Amino acid sequence: MPRAASRNATPSPDLAEIRPGQSIELLKALHILTRDGRLNQDSRRKLKQVYHLYQFIEPLLTQTAAAQGGVQMADIGAGKSYLGFILYDLFFKARDDASHIYGIEARSELVEKSIALAQQLQFTRMTFLDQPVAEAAQSAALPDTLDLVTALHACDTATDDAIKLALQKRARFIVLAPCCQAEVAAVLRKNKGAALANPLTEVWRHPLHTREFGSHLTNVLRCLQLEAHGYQVNVTELVGWEHSMKNELIIASHKDLPRARAAGRLNELLQQLGLVELRERFSVA
């Protein structure tokens, strides 16, 4: 007769990689785990990225919760609310307070699916707004102030809209994985002829360089914008370069630091590189 399986049998290697208390149902819904609870190569890499990102965000959540007893967070351009669900499962779920996550996403079909999943999992302190970010900033559904604003690879202008919302809501922390940086490159390209007298135009004279320099410059301007509003800014890698070319992670903490130098440098760059028309986008007012 075959021996009965032990109640204390070692869990499968796949489940051993999952953190204690995590919702298996959620990980399956997010396609991190397969229906039979396994991890394939892609999902294992995805899980590693999730944990890597969490190690940056969890200290900010812990610090805020310790200081005021709860966390009000908004995830901008949330998509399928992948980040919001993972953060709720790992951090918010265990808290017995008024902490809340707001997912803001303009695609109604994704918002409907997120609402359904939150109800299914009984993640009751999650709210999803079916609105563009610019409209959501004025929504009565959002609190007057937010502790943490995130935007991870948010499409179109959502990264800059997230910064604007975070500034309006006086966010204590802002975590951005920037995306959609083509606007600066387009303006560089348009004004290249008028700027040829400046030897710096050699940096972006070739089309490939225009695209790459424009992408880098966009994030430089975003960092200066945040510093010009009193934030301390740290720039690091989100994941290894082998996983994603959109790999930059910007973490900003409001420290009410001196602002004049950053604001001056930002305006100088816009002037010298022919980007004055973007001054409103990178506003320091």
> Which residues share a beta bridge with 103?
75, 128
CA atoms within 13 A on the CB side of 257: 18
pLDDT tens-place values along the chain, 285 residues long: 444 444 444 445 456 678 888 899 999 998 888 888 888 777 777 778 778 888 999 999 999 999 999 999 999 988 889 899 999 999 999 999 999 999 999 999 999 999 999 999 999 999 999 998 888 888 999 999 999 999 887 666 778 889 999 999 999 999 998 876 788 989 998 887 776 677 888 898 899 999 899 989 999 999 999 999 999 999 998 865 444 456 789 999 999 999 999 999 999 999 989 899 999 889 887
DSSP string, 101-158: EEEEES-HHHHHHHHHHHHHHT-TTEEEEES-HHHHTT-TTS-S--SEEEEES--TTH
pTM of the complete model beyond 0.85: yes
Q: What is the pLDDT of residue 40?
A: 76
Domains of the chain (ranges; CATH) run 19-167 (3.40.50.150), 181-285 (no CATH)
Q: Which of 237, 179, 245, 242 is nearest to 45 (CA)?
A: 242
What sign results for the dihedral spanned by CA atoms 273, 276, 277, 279? positive
